[in-house]
Structure 1
Amino acid sequence: MRGLSLIDRYIAKSVLVPLLGTLVLAAALLVLDKMLRLFDFVINSGGPVSVVWRMLANLLPEYFALGIPIGLLLGVLLAFRKLAVSSELDALRGVGAGFGRLLRVPYAFAVGLLLLNLFIVGWLQPWTHYGYERLRFDLRSGALGASLKVGEFNTLSKRFTLRIDRSERNGTQLHGIFVQADDNSGTSIVATAQHGRFLSTDDPDTILFRLDRGRLIQQSAKFQTPRTLSFQSYDLPINLPQVDRFRARGAAEDEVDERTLPELLSESYGGTAKNQEAELAARSNLHFRLVEVAMMLLIPLLAVALAVPPKRSASSLGIFVGIVLVVAYHKLNQWAEGAGTRGKILPEIALWVPFLLFAALIVWMYRTLATKPGGQPIGSLERAAGKVGKAIRGLLPQFGREAEAGA
């Protein structure tokens, strides 16, 4: 900041505050929306609640990849709108500071965030996406451990069922226990105990369930009558079920989101794809990531073009239009990626043609503002929105009179 002029410092401060606020707000909203569904999924899967925070941490790079372009757009747009509405923009242009000069700081932010977003979508997000899917697999398979449900029959393995009345100390101390277990020799054990706890052993595939003060019934084809036993302490070994190993990252052909940019490039044009379908999927995903990142170089121009309202107008229509354009372009890219994956359109054409058309529109809007005296690209939109609003306000009294007459 020491080497920047006063104008650059002022613009940098005006851009930074809404940019960071938008990033934090967008990430918080997306996390809260996902958190409730993750809590429901983890609890229904019988896993520890702490895994929710690990899953959310793996989702944060994806949320930031979506939030960074919108944050940059709103940061630059709100900063230049403030300059325009307060007439500071006219004063700056009057002393010779054109839009090219004023865009130095926004483009410094854009280049820095572009590199950050490229690292996120190219290298970080594939690993965190894989980590998220691995946690989902571990929950379903029971590799993360099951939480015991009080008052219900918990099946810890095919041959071990447990019910408890009360749990203390995060499940390390259990009370009011009923156990039913079978072993490989056909012996069945049913036991009740006042207290119990799980203990680890040297064998990672076996744990001990130590019961205190209870009764036990043992039944087998070898016994003429069931055997009963009263005990003060009894160790019941439990063989843990075998858990399947999760696949390697990117092993599934349809998991292109788990591949880094160099891996996608190798599959797309290096001949390492397993088949033509895998090559199309890799090419589509590669160009989807590239156009999403390249779009950030156009965002400062779009933000400035939408930030300056017509004279004697303080309308915020440009903010709405900007968000709609960025979100619509992202959805169009998602559709184009799907079309390229299915082979309906060449991935390069499906993704780069909309980018070039969108870039031409943004450059035209910026040149209209920067080179034409009094030119505001959203002026016609604001006039149309004003006419629609006036028509709606004119119809409301008419609807009120008709409602009163009908009553």
Structure 2
Amino acid sequence: MTGSPLPAEQRGPLHSTQRIDRYILVETLKPLFASLLVVLVALLMERLLRLFDLLANHGGPFNMVMWLVANLVPHYLGLALPAAFFISMFIIVARMGEDNELDALQSAGLSVPRIARSFLGLGVALMVFSILLFGYLQPYSRYGYSAIYHMVVNAAWDATVPQGMFVDAGEGITISADIVDATGRRLEKVFVQQDRGNGETWVTTSVTGALAATDDRQRVLLTLHDGVQVRMLPDGRRMVMEFGELTLDKPFQLVTEPFRDRGGSERELTLHELWSEMHDPKSIVPHTRLESELHGRLARSLSLPLLPLLAVPMGMAAKRARRGQGIALATLILIIYHHLIQLGESLGDVGRLSPLIGIWVPFGLFCLLCGWLFHRADVRPGENPFAAMFDAIDTLVGMVGKLFKRRRKAGGGRP
């Protein structure tokens, strides 16, 4: 026997609360994804400019930049996720407070923990995701980034010069040409700088030039025509030589040394690899660094379900046009907490403090703070500690504003 959905008037309170959960969850995901996108783009754009500068100095194809950026995404995602999650919850709770939706839900018999259930569920889901992110994605992406960076910086020169770019040919030799043919070896308007290592710098310019490797592929020859060479000596003197034809040669090696295997750093190890290395007496990574890295990753992941306990009472207190104050205060709290975890990791790395104290004590204090604030918001919504804090900030800002007005009035008659 098949049944049909019950009409709206026959549906119980469970269905209504589930709709409320879905509504809160959907409304939270919108600013969460938007915040993550904005923060990721901002962070990656700053690094992208540095990567373009790297390729301009060392040469290399454009797709190398894209691979480097792709390997940076897990790192920056781990930095942006807690802040984006907190801000999205804070905005939604503050908006629901301004629209009196929170009052309506509480009047209907829903407690603050029941209203926050969607936030807590999302926090648990993000905790699982962050364990995968910190524990497995980031170690591989860190190694991938280091491997590609090594390839770009230490890549053997292939005896070609891209047009309009400065190429580091190794051994202190830099080559550039304004016009280059399709092979990359027929050059016009050539510039060559040689740092000789004894304090001398030779700068050579020529009308044309040609690159060629010797038959044994051991040396590369650069033949220049109709140019000038300026030799700057250590004592400040300069020697100028004009030439019709000049050949420069240098050792040539096309093979790049391979990058090391993954695991040279504790940050490149997955969670289970960290655990195995901690119990391996032959590990090349110090035990203190392994232990601090493991505890630091777990503490950061487990912190995500605590953020709703902080965001909900703060959002409830910021419903009267106090979003700016709330975001600033939340940013300050999260930054302090992040740096305390980092400090605990650093002290654990050098063996000055056990990670059980340096990392988990700040985590425990943060957990107690969030739990106490959430409990106060549930038991005494009208006596939210954040509301009193925001009132104090308003009073302080008002006093400072009045002080500046008085000073302006007092100095108004001065020339």
Q: TM-score range by the shorter chain?
A: 0.7 to 0.9
Structure 1 residue 248 corresponds to structure 2 residue 261: yes
Q: Distance in 2 between matches of 1:402 and 1:284?
A: 58
Name the structure 1 match of 2:69: 56
Measure the CA separation in 1 of the matches of 2:123 and 2:157.
Answer: 41
2:87 match: secondary structure: helix
Indicate yes or no: 2:110 matched with 1:103: no
The within-5 A match list for 1:13-162 is: 13-143=26-156, 148=161, 150=163, 156=169
Question: Shift of the alpha carbon at 1:67?
Answer: 1.2
1:266 counterpart = 2:276: yes
**May I ask how many residue pairs the two structures share in their alignment?**
369
What is the DSSP-based 3-state SS (H/G/I as helix, E as strand, rest coil) of the residue aligned with 2:388?
Answer: helix
* Structure 1 pair 160–292 and aligned structure 2 pair: CA distance change class (3 A): closer
List gaps (5 residues or longer) in structure 2: 6-14, 193-205, 227-248
**Partner Cα distance (2:157, 2:119) in 1:** 46
Contact kept in structure 1, 2:150 and 2:259, CA below 8 Å? yes
Q: Shift of the alpha carbon at 1:5?
A: 2.6
- Is the counterpart of residue 315 in structure 1 residue 315 in structure 2? no
Q: Which residue of 1 is the match for residue 366 of structure 2?
A: 358
2:343 aligns with 335
Task: Work out the CA distance in 2 between the residues paired with 1:109 and 1:308.
Answer: 19
Mean Cα deviation higher: 358-367 or 393-402: 393-402
Alignment check: 8 A CA contact 2:292 2:355 kept: yes
Q: Distance in 2 between matches of 1:335 and 1:81?
A: 33
- The residue type equivalent to 1:315 in the other structure is R
Residues 47 and 35 (structure 1 numbering): CA distance in 2 closer, same or farther, change over 3 Å?
Answer: same
Measured in 2, the distance between the counterparts of 1:161 and 1:310 equals 59
Q: What is aligned with 2:10?
A: none
What TM-score, normalized to structure 2?
0.77
2:347 and 2:288 mapped to 1: Cα distance?
10
Return 160-169 or 39-48, whichever deviates more.
160-169
Q: CA deviation at 1:396?
A: 1.6
Superposed, 1:171-190 pairs within 5 Å as 171=184
Name the TM-score, length of structure 1 as normaliser.
0.78
Do 2:162 and 2:180's aligned partners in 1 also have CA atoms closer than 8 Å? no
How far the C-alpha of 1:111 sits from its partner, in A, is 1.9
Alpha-carbon distance, 1:153 to partner: 8.2
Q: 1:70–1:170: structure 2 CA closer, same or farther, 3 Å change rule?
A: farther
- The answer for unaligned runs of 5 or more in structure 1 is 180-191, 216-235
Q: How many angstroms apart in 1 are the aligned matches of 2:375 and 2:159? A: 61
Match of 1:227 in 2: none
Q: What secondary structure is seen at the aligned counterpart in 2 of 1:50?
A: helix
RMSD: 3.8
- 2:313 corresponds to which residue? 305
Deviations 1:263-322 (A, max 9, x none): 1112224545347xx0000001110101000001101111112110278x3312222222
In the alignment, structure 1 residue 280 sits paired with structure 2 residue 293: no
Between the aligned partners of 1:358 and 1:66, the Cα distance in structure 2 is 18
